[in-house]
């Protein structure tokens, strides 16, 4: 699978500025658009004592699963990045170069709109940012998120899921566009079913 993605990605890179190719996905989960405790994702935190927030973007559930385990492992709150315009299955079809996700990934200036800007980033010291790899990078909406808040002084741990690719340059790229000077941990790829044990040392 990893070899297949490497091959597909190479084709994508070669053709990015001329034409392109590309995956299939699923529908966007709309729960937890505010920072919420890991144990109760549907309720907004009223009085938050945790200083760690797990932020995630996920279309087909893999990264959401990883984010939920990370939140449990780190005793963190959780916040979902929700697009203003949800991604349809067709938007995520990487076999069609004209579909939304692939078009956005080819354009490093693309900034899909967020449904809300309610993440209470100021309340946290440590932030996990969890995303799927789309054409070797984080989805552009993660760029939108990281440019929409001030991350000065935060410690950020980027983690991802993929169909086989490694984290590659995705975390370094996110670091380069994030607003505010943060302390970044190295990016890491995990299986969606990674254990709490594997995730609890993200900030060590």
Ligand X SMILES: Cc1cc2nc3c(=O)[nH]c(=O)nc-3n(C[C@H](O)[C@H](O)[C@H](O)COP(=O)(O)O)c2cc1C
Please identify, using beta-carbon distances, which residue of 51 and 115 lies nearer to ligand X: 115
Distance CA 204, CA 194 (A): 17
**Which one of 34, 62, 69, 170 is in contact with ligand X (CB under 6 A)?**
62
When asked if residue 163 is in the footprint of ligand X (CB under 6 A), the reply is yes
When asked if residue 101 is in the footprint of ligand X (CB under 6 A), the reply is yes
Please identify, using beta-carbon distances, which residue of 7 and 122 lies nearer to ligand X: 7
* Site residues (CB under 6 A) for ligand X, limited to 110-149: 132-136
Cβ contact 203:53 at 8 Å:
no
Task: Name the residue among 189, 195, 201 with its Cα closest to residue 69.
Answer: 195
- Give CA angle at 35 (91, 88), nearest 5°: 10
Residues 6+ apart with CB under 8 A from 204: none
* Site residues (CB under 6 A) for ligand X, limited to 41-60: 58-60
Element (H, E) at 188: strand 188-189
Minimum Å distance from CB 12 to ligand X? 7
When asked if residue 102 is in the footprint of ligand X (CB under 6 A), the reply is yes
Neighbours of 19 (CB within 10 A): 11
Largest Cα span, the chain: 51
When asked if residue 23 is in the footprint of ligand X (CB under 6 A), the reply is yes
When asked if residue 63 is in the footprint of ligand X (CB under 6 A), the reply is yes
Minimum Å distance from CB 150 to ligand X? 26
Please identify, using beta-carbon distances, which residue of 52 and 60 lies nearer to ligand X: 60
Distance CA 184, CA 172 (A): 9
When asked if residue 68 is in the footprint of ligand X (CB under 6 A), the reply is no
Which residues contribute to the site for ligand X (CB under 6 A)? 5, 9, 22-23, 25, 58-64, 92, 94, 101-102, 132-136, 161-165
């Amino acid at each position: 699978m990893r070899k297949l993605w490497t091959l597909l990605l190479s084709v994508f890179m070669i053709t990015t500025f001329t034409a392109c190719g590309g995956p299939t996905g699923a529908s966007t989960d709309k729960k937890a658009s505010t920072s919420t405790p890991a144990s109760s994702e549907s309720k907004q935190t009223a009085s938050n004592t945790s200083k760690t927030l797990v932020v995630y973007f996920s279309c087909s559930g893999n990264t959401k699963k990883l984010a939920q385990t990370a939140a449990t492992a780190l005793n963190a709150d959780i916040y979902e990045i929700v697009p203003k315009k949800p991604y349809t299955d067709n938007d995520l079809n990487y076999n069609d170069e004209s579909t939304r996700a692939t078009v956005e990934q080819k354009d490093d200036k693309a900034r899909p709109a967020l449904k809300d800007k309610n993440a209470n980033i100021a309340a946290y010291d440590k932030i996990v940012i969890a995303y799927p790899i789309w054409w070797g990078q984080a989805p552009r909406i993660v760029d939108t998120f990281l440019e929409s808040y001030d991350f000065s002084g935060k410690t950020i741990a980027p983690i991802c899921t993929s169909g086989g690719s490694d984290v590659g340059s995705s975390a370094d790229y996110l670091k380069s566009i994030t607003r505010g000077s943060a302390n970044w941990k190295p990016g890491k790829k995990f299986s969606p079913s990674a254990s709490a044990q594997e995730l609890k040392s993200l900030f060590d």
